[in-house]
Chains A and B, each alone.
Chain A
Amino acid sequence: MFCRNVKLQLHYTPGGALAMAIKSPLYKIQEKLGAKFTEFAGFEMPLQYSSIREEHLTVRRSVGLFDVSHMSNVWITGKDAMKLLSLTTVADASKVGEKQSQYTVILKEDGTIIDDTIFMNLEDKYMMIPNAGMNAVVTNWLNEQAKKHKLNAKAEDASRDFVILAIQGPKSRETLQKLTNTDLNSVKFFGCQYDNISRVPCIISHTGYTGELGFELQITPNKKAEGVFNKILDAGKEFDIKPIGLGARDTLRLEKCFMLAGNEFHGGRSPLEATLGWTVNWDHDFIGKEALLKQKEKGTFERMTCLMCVDKGIPRHGCEIHKDGRKVGIVTSGTLSPCLNVGISMGYVHPDCRAEGSMLDIIVRDKPLKAKVVKPPFVPKDWAQKN
């Protein structure tokens, strides 16, 4: 047996190759909990604890706890911080009120995505959460642009100062509520604020990467995080909470058709190609806007497309997508859906071949696998109630 671990492959090396994988400050406790580890973007993180399928279903049905400290933290400060964000992302930061966060993308001049990210308006300053290993790239880019456009704003990489926990699933709010006096119902979807969880200061946001009810915590200093991690596991006991690895994180996001930067944006893709046009606020100027407008006008670009397999089999990253024996696209992410028990994939497909309901072939080990174009997400919001 030779196992090709296709799951969390990154198809680029962000920020250059790292000599040694960085361990999360929670490594020891994860090891005790029986985690199998994987290297992801220069970090040694839990891949799974029990099984990906079991962890996946725990999050869909109840609640799970993720350590996502591999993600980056960048402070953005200075009187022009808002202007810098508006310039360097497709969002108009002036429309993002205090205690709100925004999903967006950072573009190069040519309109291709450097990274997708969330930034939080924390009243006194902004925090941005770039992807794993993208801290240096994004921080440098923001500072370069600030200098070039004479903005009084500064980006500062604080990635190693924070442990990031994600509590996700229908029981996440009830679990976390036990550990804070703040009424968590008051933290709206994509809301964010400074708070305390079991008396440890943190930033809490009503965000996630699973498509379920969920919260994310940015905890500093690192040494306080282990206590919070344990407290959350205790608080969730009545709901059979489980620690969740990156394996299930990937299958959970893929069932909801969320992008994984290293897969979906690899090789230079624009937000229009990635069907992230909805994130673009066209009423303001931002880096990459001209290129996007040109692309939009032309209209002939490949677009992110969700394909659900009709035949048995599992599409994987890099599989070609064919129609009538002709290549019309490429799979960027694929897996077996633990909820639906069929192969699902995301990939870029020629604009003429992606109408909902169209049948295409995904080529897996030289054999065509019939798959149907579906509207995202693969797994609907009420799946757990119905299954």
Chain B
Amino acid sequence: MANEVKDDLKYTKTHEWLKVKDNKATVGITDHAQAELTDIVYVELPSVGKTVKKGEELCVVESVKSVSEIYAPVSGKIVGVNKKLEDSPETINKSPYGDGWLVELEIKDKSEVDSLMDAKSYKKTI
């Protein structure tokens, strides 16, 4: 189903997910978000090394007829991007929580993670 929510992730109101491991976090968009967009055809990834503040634009995901900004769920430094998406952006549709991840962040302030929604709260918003 197109509204899968994973229990071990943190979520934003704007449909990004965050998977925390130590001081790093992987960011992607939720199953709900990819289903709303359908046909993701282009991803503009940020440069590695760039720092972003929570809520700032992290990257851009485009479907055939829409442009969506993806926001940083927490502040930090970009330490990795999913280069594979440049050639196969549809991976986000197929595997939003797996191979369709977008960016890896080095978390600046772990307390920001606590302010995000858990799976149960996110489910209520969709």
Contacts and interface: CB of A to CB of B under 8 A. Distances in A.
A48 interface: yes
Q: Interface residues of A toward B: which range? A: 20 to 34
Contacts of B29: 1
A4 interface: yes
Interface residues of B, number: 25
B66 A335 contact: no
Contact of A3 (B16, B36, B41, B42): B36
Contacts of A313: 42, 44
A52 B39 contact: yes
B66 A336 contact: no
Contacts of B82: none
Chain B interface, >50% SS class: strand
B33 A336 contact: no
A51 B36 contact: no
Interface in A355-377: 365
A146 B30 CA distance: 58
Contact of B64 (A1, A2, A4, A251): A251
Contact of A6 (B39, B42, B66, B71): B66
Given A1-B14, A313-B42, A336-B41, A7 B65 contact: yes
A247 interface: yes
Interface in A46-70: 48, 51-54, 56
B65 A51 contact: no
A351 interface: no
Contacts of B66: 3-7
Interface string A245-281: 0010011000000000000000000000000000000
Interface of B: 14-16, 29, 33, 36-39, 41-42, 44, 60-71, 86
Closest 8 A/B residue pairs (Cβ): A7-B65, A3-B68, A52-B64, A1-B15, A51-B38, A53-B39, A336-B41, A51-B39
